[in-house]
Amino acid sequence: MAGTGTPPPTPPVAARRPVRREKFGRVWSDPWAWIRNREDPEVLRHLEAENAWTERCLAPWDGIRKAVLAEMKARIVPDSASPPVRHGPFLYYARYRRGEEYPVFCRRPAKTTVKNRGRGRAGPEQLLLDGNRLAREAHGESADGYFDLGALEISPDHRILAYAADTVGRRRYEFRFLDTRTGRVLEDRISGAAPNLVWARDGATVLYTSIDPGTLRWFRVMRHRLGTPAEQDEIAYEESDETFSVMVSESRSRELLLLHCEQTDRAEAWGIPSSDPEAAPRRIVARGGPHEFELDHFRSRFWIRTNRDAPDFRLVEAPESDPGNPEAWTDRIPAREGVPLEGFALFESHLALFERRSGRQTLRLVDWRTGASREVRLPGPVRALDEEENPEPGAAAVRVVVSTPKTPPTTLAVSLTTGRRRVLKREEVPNFDPARYRVRLLSAPAEDGVRIPISLVHHRDHPPASETPLLLYGYGAYGIPMDPAFSRTRLSLLDRGFTFAIAHVRGGQELGRAWYEAGRQHRKCNTFQDFIACARHLRKRGLGDPERLFAMGGSAGGLLMGAVLNEEPALFAGLVAMVPFVDVLNTMLDPDLPLTTAEYDEWGDPNRKEFFELLAGYAPQENIPQAALPHLFATSGLHDSQVQFWEPAKWVQRLRERNTNPDAVIVLRTNLDAGHGGRSGRYRGLEEIAEIYSFLLGLAERTTAGSP
């Protein structure tokens, strides 16, 4: 663990410089409002002192950290490649080389070009882009700073590769352009962009999304022509409503460049002909609301996944002449009660539908010609399902990735006509046997009687019991489901006797749109109470040691951790709050901060009294009780674009002030070279996880030994 000199004997104490705040007659103080300037040397010294204190507190468990880190690294195959994806005349794929942090991106001709004793052999590999070389160019030979390739888009003639890199972690990217025939990087540079770009049909014009430098909102679609300075780029569309963002995509027909504007429960769509990228955008579906939709164009029709008159969405087709008129829409996949439609993929012969039944993701195929429908059999009653890249409409199969808590991700090619599955790649995990693990699906009664699903996984030799440690994970926001996917790092907990559980609380969308609506805005507290109910239920059923019950959540899940801690400080022995959104009230009152205005529809606009009172009532920073608090590990990233680094920094100060438990370990780890997602790199990124796991395992061991 990297040191910062002699560890301090006591936790860092940030100077109190109270700022008085007042709204709707309520007055409160923000003592650490000054911890906002990432360029201020005093702020940096404080964060470094917090890191040093964290290292001091975790030093007794350094042996655990090193062992866990070694295990995690050993579960990575040093040389591996993704299954190739057919796109036009080439097969594209990424691969890792032994000892390297970042992938290299390659292609080879799709057709066999070399004959060898009568058998075909694939054409030669062409290495297009080396992420490791780009990271070294950005940070020196050690390439120890943050690096992320956020977009790779090939031109229609497959000659120019556009790629976006973020070297800070702030999620503001720079686009460059590579000539794949010569290997030369063009002079064009587009800075301050989102990782969002599409090519026009001419192969010389791109549309991309520009980010507001202050709020980081995706607010403009710009037009760039290769060979011209980015300063001369023209605005194709600007989103003036500060609660909306905009992005650009290519239609499935490849005839339109689609501009999609959205907020939490409203959307709008525009189109520009790919053959005429300088044309003014044409509105396809106007915003109104609440109305959410996803739109595509294919087979001379518009296809709209819409929640108009269908809370869990339906799929309609709309004529090109009048696509924005709901009266002209024809149901293709009507709404079905209890079966949320989460997505769709359009092919020449079939339609692929991604749905849910009883919280479980499913794949259904529909024949365009006959209308016949087939549900595909997928492994595991508890699983995660994602659509893979499917760039070719004429493909005979849809590619998906499926995993379970005990089964590594497997890429499948599912025949559109028969539904038969062909394994393209099963992620290899050395030293792993799925037969050693068990998966269960439970449910807990919430305060209002609603049953909250719980996914649970454990080692077969360590069945959950009243004397075994348990880690409960939760999120519950934005309608994002927490599907029970595989984690190779989590095995280090399971192998040491931990049970891992996910509480599928309201605010996610595991059980459809109503599940989300029941956990946002005025009903947000359901999310917190659901999580508490799940923890109590697991304890009551003897599925975890009450003295070794831990909780974890990140970002909006970190808000969940803060709210639960305030509500039930004695329920958990320890909590892990990763980049936690805990300064909710002050953040949502500052429209100049990233994400604030765009999320009024998620949390509520505190400029309205009803929402101000709601947020003030549960904001973690303002509601910490004077009590014996549990152990806590919080993380942050100095360049975090979503949850600003000062939120957990201020929160930890307040927690220590309010805590009456002298044995509580309350620490903050700030990554000074990264943002919301933590450190980059396939090996370096494991260091943060190993540190968190050493915290949990060390506490579990200490409790077993009977230490305070």
Cβ atoms of residues 377 and 326 within 8 Å: no
What integer pLDDT is reported at residue 52 of this predicted model?
A: 96
Measure the CA–CA gap between 61 and 58, rounded to whole angstroms: 5
How is residue 64 written in tokens? 């655990």
Strand, helix or coil for residue 89: coil
Confidence class for position 120, pLDDT limits 50, 70, 90: very low
Which residue type, as a one-letter code, is found at position 61?
A: W
The pLDDT score that the predictor gives to residue 555 is 97
Q: Which of the pair, 232 or 678, is modelled with greater confidence? A: 232
Residue 661: exposed, middle, or buried by beta-carbon count in 10 A (0-12, 13-18, 19+)? middle
Q: How far apart are CA 267 and CA 315, in angstroms?
A: 16
Report strand pairing: 205-211 vs 218-225. antiparallel
d(CA 71, CA 56): 23
Say if residue 7 is exposed, middle or buried (CB neighbours under 10 Å; 0-12, 13-18, 19+): middle
Res 573 pLDDT > 70? yes
Task: Let me know: does 508 contact 340? Beta carbons within 8 Å.
Answer: no
User: In this structure, what is the dihedral angle of CA atoms 653, 656, 658, 663, given to the nearest 10 degrees?
Assistant: 170
Given a cut of 80, is residue 586 above it in pLDDT? yes
**Using the 8-state DSSP alphabet, how is residue 233 labeled?**
P
- Both structure tokens of 431: 């030293």
Catalytic residue among 224, 462, 631, 676: 676
The pLDDT of residue 707: 43
More confident residue, 678 or 635: 635
Considering 640, 641, 680, 694, which one is annotated as catalytic?
640
Choose, from 555, 636, 641, 694, the residue flagged as catalytic. 555
Closest CA to 427 of 388, 466, 474, 390: 388
Sign of the CA dihedral 650, 653, 657, 663?
Answer: positive
Cβ count near 265 (within 10 Å): 17
Per-residue pLDDT, 4: 42
**For 519-540, what is each residue's pLDDT tens digit?**
999 999 999 999 999 999 999 9
Residues whose CB falls within 8 Å of the CB of residue 699, separated by 6 or more in sequence, listed in order:
548, 550, 573, 574, 631, 665
Task: Return the sign of the alpha-carbon dihedral for residues 209, 215, 216, 218.
Answer: negative
CA distance 76 to 70: 10
For residue 703, name the pLDDT band (cuts at 50, 70, 90): confident
- What pLDDT digit, counting tens, does each position of 404-424 carry? 999 999 999 999 999 999 999
pLDDT per residue as tens digits for the range 301-349 = 999 999 999 999 999 999 999 999 999 999 999 999 889 999 999 999 9
Q: What is the pLDDT of residue 6?
A: 60
Q: Does 116 have pLDDT greater than 50?
A: no
676 among known catalytic residues: yes
Q: Which residues contact 556 (CB under 8 A, 6 or more apart)?
A: 475, 476, 477, 478, 581
pLDDT tens readout for residues 197-215: 999 999 999 999 999 998 9
Give pLDDT, residue 7. Answer: 59
Q: What is the pLDDT of residue 122?
A: 62
- 461 classed as catalytic: no
- Residues with Cβ within 8 Å of 10's Cβ and at least 6 positions away in sequence, in order, are 53
Q: Which residues of 322-331 are buried (b: 16+ CB within 10 A; e: fewer)?
A: ebbeeeebee
The answer to whether residue 584 scores a pLDDT higher than 90 is yes
Q: Average pLDDT for residues 670-689, to the nearest whole number?
A: 92
As a whole number, mean pLDDT of residues 398-409 equals 96
Percentage of the chain surpassing pLDDT 70? 97
The model's confidence at residue 588, banded by pLDDT at 50, 70 and 90, is very high
Residue 36 Cα distances to 140, 360, 517, 593, 620, angstroms: 29, 42, 33, 11, 18
Contact between 551 and 576 under an 8 Å Cβ cutoff? The reply is: yes
What would the mean pLDDT of 645-665 be, rounded to a whole number? 97
- Judge whether 631 counts as a catalytic residue: no
- pLDDT > 70? residue 3: no
Tell whether the model's pLDDT for residue 708 goes beyond 70: no
- Distance between CA atoms of residues 398 and 238, nearest Å: 35
Residue-averaged pLDDT of the chain? 94
pLDDT one-digit tens code per residue, 234-292: 999 999 999 999 999 999 999 999 999 999 899 999 999 999 999 999 999 999 889 99
pLDDT at 77: 96
Residues 442, 454: contact at Cβ < 8 Å?
yes
Judged on CB neighbours under 10 Å (0-12, 13-18, 19+), 9 is exposed
